């Protein structure tokens, strides 16, 4: 299961319908009344939505790691999948010209024939020298913005054999992000500012002018005005004379760190995908002075998560603390929130309060007695960023970056008091810089600090006013997070997990290690869960700390960050992609039937996948048995409900195939779960009409 909301990333318009990305959700909204937009539907994807193009009744949706999805949106209240096309790299931009969709994926550009949207096929692809970011296609030409490679113009009159016809480098850096073309003039948004280029002869593009401005992530041209979405808002330029552009207005950001991914003009309105606020709508009655008239809210970047009483408390970056009811009918649903002043990186709770490490705004204390109506009761700010927090009793400890570890008395939630700030002030490991604290945990009177270049530090806070180092262990990686279970400390020491014996705090020693990216870790029921950024989650059996065994992994849709393990479920904050609920010991009654056990872990040891995928009427699931086993195969919808079950007695060793057909399933994404003996594995499939 999953809570899939995240930052606004893109917007496309079809009359008074707005199609916007919010994390892994595509929202379709009626914006007839901009002051009160109506969300008609939400469609969830396997990973974050990065771009969308709408043409008639069809929407083309680019996802970060799951490829291109094509939806029928003829009924905007009930969109359904027509087809999908995998892509090896992250899709960063889409464009459509005629029956061809152009996919930009950093490495280059793919040309896809979508004459039949239900059966897309690749015509060709071309790579750019550096990192392709954006494409504009018109008049048999594709204008590609290539980081460090400038503006590159390709002839696509024969889409099966495109070729470079012209290029222009920008100096001194040349980092173009977006291009819009009209009447032989290309307007190129770059990290350095705005370049205006004469492309009337595509084989010989010539720079006409340059204007210093912020980083331009997207451009929209309307009349003589060019709207540039940058890291600070929207800058508006008069380009009636392309050789002498001038800035004539703009829109400022709201939050620290706003990044504007997308800007579109439709009629007398400007639509801005604000990565923190959501889809913002502006009136352009005075074109150089947009007036905000509407908003479709989005969420932030999920950095951390903690679970208590079947509620997930999410450190949601610039959008503060979000509280999600995990038991809501229809799946996880947000029920409460508090917008914090800065960037919420981590959260911990006691029975009545949540404590949020909120970057430069310090520690925020929030009353969660009623999770549906949380409110801030107090805060404490010190001299540096707060990255992590752990609470036990009346003490909260915080990871304070360059100034070390903070010890805070929270006995009065309305007035937290800094009791001590411990900073070793000593360079350590291979670094000449002082220790930088990123993660903390607390157990009784001992505090465990993850110090980036140093490793693990153990503090005795029997006297909270005078913390004392009792033990250290230098580790080879970058110590980021730490969690302690009994006599063992699990240190996210990227790259890798370090399992450390702390039974004698004055002499911690390494028991074992597990390789791979590890930026957070939690432990429950004898399993450690390593969050591995783009590598998803790795599941490690640590019943024997001397001999950890990787038993599986789960590939989340974006970047796995903070993690909390409760019983047999790992809750993973996945950046732009929201929060995942990953079951290790599969809940028997939910999927495979009463009394069934096992571990749901994605691996290549049993399942060989399903084909075709996507499928219309039937699909074949292939798998390998190492020994004779009873086999159960369940199909689960996105809400976690079992919709089909097949059982087979004593299948022999070897390769097998099970055909799923006649299920009567509506279009959408499904998970299939295969159990053979005590082993359980799962995969994903897509039903299309």
CA distances to 81, 632, 637, 667, 686 from 663, rounded to whole Å, are: 17, 16, 12, 11, 13
180-204 burial by CB neighbour count: b if 16+ within 10 A, else e?
A: bbeeebbbbbbbbbbbbbbbeebee
The mean pLDDT of 373-399, rounded to a whole number, is: 95
What does the pLDDT read at residue 431?
Answer: 59
pLDDT-above-70 percentage for the chain: 93
DSSP symbol at 652? P
Identify whether the C-beta of residue 661 lies closer than 8 Å to the C-beta of residue 644: no
What does the pLDDT read at residue 98?
Answer: 96
Tell me, rounded to whole angstroms, the distance of Cα 399 from its chain centroid. 23
Q: Which residues belong to CATH 2.60.40.2550 in the chain? A: 589-687
Which tokens hold the place of 69?
């999805």
pLDDT tens digits along 653-676: 888 889 988 677 887 777 788 888
Which tokens hold the place of 648?
């087979």
What does the pLDDT read at residue 602?
Answer: 34
Residue 11 pLDDT class (50, 70, 90 cuts): very high
Identify whether the C-beta of residue 40 lies closer than 8 Å to the C-beta of residue 77: yes
Which tokens hold the place of 127?
């790579």
Identify whether the C-beta of residue 687 lies closer than 8 Å to the C-beta of residue 665: yes
DSSP symbol at 434? B
pLDDT tens digits along 400-457: 999 999 999 999 999 999 999 998 776 665 556 678 999 999 999 999 999 998 899 9
Residue 567 pLDDT class (50, 70, 90 cuts): confident
Closest C-alpha among 546, 492, 533, 534 to residue 515: 492
Residue 198 has, within 13 A of its CA and on its CB side, a CA count of 10
Which CATH code fits 90-297? 2.120.10.30
**Is the predicted pLDDT of residue 363 greater than 90, yes or no?**
yes
**Is the predicted pLDDT of residue 170 greater than 90, yes or no?**
no
What are the counts of helices (DSSP H) followed by strands (DSSP E) for the chain? Answer: 0, 63
**Is the predicted pLDDT of residue 535 greater than 90, yes or no?**
no
Residue of higher predicted confidence among 652 and 155 = 155
pLDDT tens digits along 463-485: 999 999 999 999 999 999 999 99
Which CATH code fits 304-581? 2.130.10.10
**Is the predicted pLDDT of residue 34 greater than 90, yes or no?**
yes
Residue 118 has, within 13 A of its CA and on its CB side, a CA count of 9
Q: Are strands 106-113 and 353-357 parallel, antiparallel or unpaired?
A: unpaired
Collapsed DSSP state (helix, strand, coil) of residue 589 = helix
Identify whether the C-beta of residue 581 lies closer than 8 Å to the C-beta of residue 569: yes
Which tokens hold the place of 683?
């995969």
Residue of higher predicted confidence among 364 and 551 = 364
What does the pLDDT read at residue 593?
Answer: 40
Tell me what the pLDDT averaged over the chain comes to: 89
Identify whether the C-beta of residue 341 lies closer than 8 Å to the C-beta of residue 361: yes
**For residue 379, is it left (φ>0), alpha (ψ between -120 and 50) or beta?**
beta
Residue 515 pLDDT class (50, 70, 90 cuts): very high
According to CATH, the topology of domain 589-687 is Immunoglobulin-like (2.60.40)
Residue 123 φ/ψ, nearest 5 degrees: -90, -40
Give pTM, 2 decimals.
Answer: 0.81
Poorest-pLDDT segment among 15-19, 509-513, 640-644: 640-644
What does the pLDDT read at residue 171?
Answer: 78
What does the pLDDT read at residue 115?
Answer: 97
What is the C-alpha to C-alpha distance for residues 388 and 406, in angstroms, rounded to an integer?
10
**Is the predicted pLDDT of residue 75 greater than 70, yes or no?**
yes
Q: Any residues with CB less than 8 A from the CB of 333 and at least 6 apart, and which?
A: 3, 324, 325
Q: Which residues belong to CATH 2.120.10.30 in the chain? A: 90-297
Q: Which residues belong to CATH 2.130.10.10 in the chain? A: 304-581
What is the C-alpha to C-alpha distance for residues 471 and 462, in angstroms, rounded to an integer?
15
Collapsed DSSP state (helix, strand, coil) of residue 590 = helix
């Amino acid at each position: 299961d999953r809570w899939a909301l995240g930052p606004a990333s893109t917007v496309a318009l079809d009359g008074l319908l707005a199609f916007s990305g919010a994390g892994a959700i595509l929202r379709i909204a009626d914006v007839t009344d901009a002051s009160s937009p109506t969300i008609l539907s939400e469609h969830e994807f396997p990973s974050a939505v990065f771009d969308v193009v709408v043409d008639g009744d069809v929407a083309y949706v680019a996802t970060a790691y799951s490829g291109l999805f094509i939806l029928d949106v003829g009924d905007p209240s009930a969109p359904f999948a027509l087809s999908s096309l995998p892509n090896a790299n992250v899709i960063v931009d889409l464009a459509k010209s005629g029956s061809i969709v152009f996919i930009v994926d950093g490495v280059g550009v793919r040309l896809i024939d979508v004459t039949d949207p239900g059966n897309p096929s690749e015509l060709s692809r071309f790579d750019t020298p550096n990192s392709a970011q954006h494409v504009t296609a018109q008049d048999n030409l594709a204008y590609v913005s290539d980081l460090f490679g400038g503006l590159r113009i390709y002839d696509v009159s024969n889409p099966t054999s495109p070729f470079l016809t012209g290029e222009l480098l920008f100096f001194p850096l040349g980092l173009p992000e977006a291009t819009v073309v009209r009447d032989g003039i290309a307007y190129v948004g770059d990290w350095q500012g705005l370049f205006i280029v004469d492309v009337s002869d595509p084989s010989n593009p010539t720079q006409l002018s340059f204007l210093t401005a912020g980083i331009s992530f997207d451009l929209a041209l309307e009349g003589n005005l060019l709207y540039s979405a940058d890291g600070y808002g929207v800058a508006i330029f008069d380009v009636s004379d392309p050789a002498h552009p001038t800035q004539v207005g703009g829109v400022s950001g709201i939050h620290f760190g706003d990044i504007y991914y997308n800007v579109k003009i439709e009629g007398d309105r400007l639509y801005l995908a604000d990565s923190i606020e959501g889809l913002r709508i502006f009136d352009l009655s005075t074109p150089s002075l947009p007036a905000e008239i509407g908003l479709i809210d989005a969420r932030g970047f999920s950095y951390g998560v903690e679970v208590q009483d079947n509620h997930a408390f999410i450190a949601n970056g610039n959008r503060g603390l979000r509280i999600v009811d995990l038991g809501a009918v229809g799946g996880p649903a947000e029920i409460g929130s508090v917008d914090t002043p800065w960037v919420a990186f981590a959260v911990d709770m006691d029975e009545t309060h949540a404590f949020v490490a909120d970057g430069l705004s310090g520690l925020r204390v929030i009353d969660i007695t009623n999770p549906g109506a949380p409110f801030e009761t107090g805060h404490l700010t010190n001299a540096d960023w707060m990255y992590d927090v752990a609470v036990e009793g009346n003490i909260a400890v915080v990871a304070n970056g360059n100034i070390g570890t903070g010890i805070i008395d929270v006995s009065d939630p309305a007035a937290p008091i800094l009791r001590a700030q411990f900073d070793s002030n000593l360079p350590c490991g291979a670094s000449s810089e002082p220790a930088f604290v990123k993660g903390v945990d607390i157990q009784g009177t001992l505090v465990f600090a993850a110090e980036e270049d140093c490793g693990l530090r153990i503090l005795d806070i029997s006297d909270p006013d005078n913390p004392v180092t009792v033990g250290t262990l230098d580790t080879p990686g970058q110590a980021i997070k730490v969690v302690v279970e009994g006599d063992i400390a699990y240190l996210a020491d990227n790259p890798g997990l370090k399992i450390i014996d702390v039974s004698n705090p004055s002499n911690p020693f390494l028991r074992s290690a597990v390789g791979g990216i590890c930026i957070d870790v939690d432990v429950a029921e004898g399993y450690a869960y390593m969050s591995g950024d783009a590598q998803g989650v790795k599941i490690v059996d640590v019943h024997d700390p001397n001999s950890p065994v990787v038993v599986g992994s789960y590939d989340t849709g974006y970047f796995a960050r903070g993690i909390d393990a409760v019983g047999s479920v790992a809750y993973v904050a996945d950046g732009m992609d929201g929060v995942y609920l990953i079951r290790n010991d599969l809940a028997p009654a939910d999927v495979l039937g009463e009394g069934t056990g096992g571990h749901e872990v994605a691996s290549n040891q049993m399942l060989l996948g399903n084909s075709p995928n996507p499928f219309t009427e039937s699909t074949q699931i292939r798998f390998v048995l190492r020994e004779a086993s009873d086999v159960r195969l369940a199909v689960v919808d996105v809400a976690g409900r079992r919709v089909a079950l097949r059982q087979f007695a004593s299948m022999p060793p070897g390769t097998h195939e099970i055909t799923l057909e006649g299920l009567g399933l509506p279009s959408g994404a499904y998970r299939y779960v295969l159990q053979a003996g005590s082993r359980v594995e799962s995969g994903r499939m897509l039903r299309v009409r």
